[in-house]
Amino acid sequence: MADSELATRAPESDAQDTNTPSSSGSPALASAPTNPPMTEHCTSDRPLPTGQSSTGELTKLNDIDVYISKPADYPHTPSRLLLLLTGGTGLHSVNNQIQADRFASEGYVVVMPDLFGGDPAPNSRLTAAEIGETSATMGAAGAGGGPSSSSLLDVFKVKALETAKTFLIDMWLARHTEEKVMPILEKVLEGARDEFADAVSHGSGVYAVGYCFGARYVLLLAAERPARPGQQQRQGRDEEANRSATVPPQIKAGALAHATLVSKGDFVGLKAPLSVVCVEDDPVFPDEVRIAGEEYMSENGVEHEVQVYPGVPHGEC
């Protein structure tokens, strides 16, 4: 992959260069909740530096909207193909596009697909209409209160807004499940292998990096897994074992940073080498999930590295 600073810095947050990784142990793999919450880092972009903009292009690949960024000297100089999977801010986030451009400057042809079909995650700030509606409701509830009603009302408003944000995120997550996202990735990979066959050949496969929401899909693409119903017809049946055919890893190697929505079971079947970057005590990528994943990779001979940064929140490693 590209240098560690580039690969681990979240597009939607500033890096904390003074943090150092810590080590951890490895308990047994077990089940875990599959839908932990997302934080505001998952749905908000940081302000762009003045005058900075993206340089790639928005186009379609196998009928999927993608952002493509290429090295300046491509195709005259051989490059490798990198699939960049975003957090909830999605395809049109300029931060995400600039991150793709930075990978391109390191010698990768970068394909960044729209994982959400034009429906990025709700921003961490509610819309003006939603805030106004909530405030009006809270104002009516607090009318006629005593001397402390104003301060209590303020607390109530904050809690109501937080609840509204969580509700919007939950509704959004329900629209963008594995069953919706994986077919998008399969189409993009099929198109990319055809369109950029030279880059795939030069790298002996496709590389992938994922942030936040997209990080889980790096895990899924790095694993050998049972074929989905739509794939079984193409893959055939394993009659001898009387089970569905499996799909081999779709990437050569992957990296994931500040993952969310990952369960311990998502590590099962991993084959491709992985680099995992995360923070300590992350509520959306709990230590128990990470540690169980480390143990699984160690026990099953999966080449991997794990960096854990203490003292920073999710999204700022």
**Domain match, 38 and 104 both:** yes
Q: What is the mean pLDDT of the chain?
A: 80
Confidence of residue 138 (pLDDT cuts 50, 70, 90): very low
Question: In this structure, are 153 and 263 located in the same domain?
Answer: no
Q: pLDDT band at 159, cuts 50/70/90? A: confident
pLDDT tens column, 73-111: 999 999 999 999 999 999 999 999 999 999 999 999 999
DSSP alpha helices (H): ranges in 143-212?
149-175, 178-195, 197-202
Residue at 24 is within a domain: yes
More confident residue, 268 or 239: 268
pLDDT (tens digit per residue) in 200-233: 999 999 999 999 999 999 999 999 998 877 665 4
Task: Using CB atoms within 10 Å of the CB of residue 100, give its burial: 0 to 12 exposed, 13 to 18 middle, 19+ buried.
Answer: buried
Last residue of a domain, one of 143, 169, 195: 169
Question: Domain check: are 97 and 198 in the same one?
Answer: yes
* 316 has pLDDT over 90: no
Residue 220 belongs to a domain: yes
Pair (113, 191) in one structural domain: yes
Domain identity same for 159 and 288: no
pLDDT at residue 306 in the model: 96
Do residues 251 and 85 make contact, with C-beta atoms less than 8 angstroms apart? no
User: 56 and 157, same structural domain?
Assistant: no
* Domain encompassing residue 210: 4-119+177-309
207 shares its domain with 97? yes
Q: Are residues 205 and 60 in the same domain?
A: yes
For position 153, what pLDDT does the model report?
75
Weakest-pLDDT range from 58-62, 72-76, 90-94, 161-165: 161-165
> What is the predicted pLDDT for the residue at 283?
87
Based on the domain organization, do 197 and 160 belong to the same domain? no
**What is the domain-level CATH number for residue 73?**
3.40.50.1820
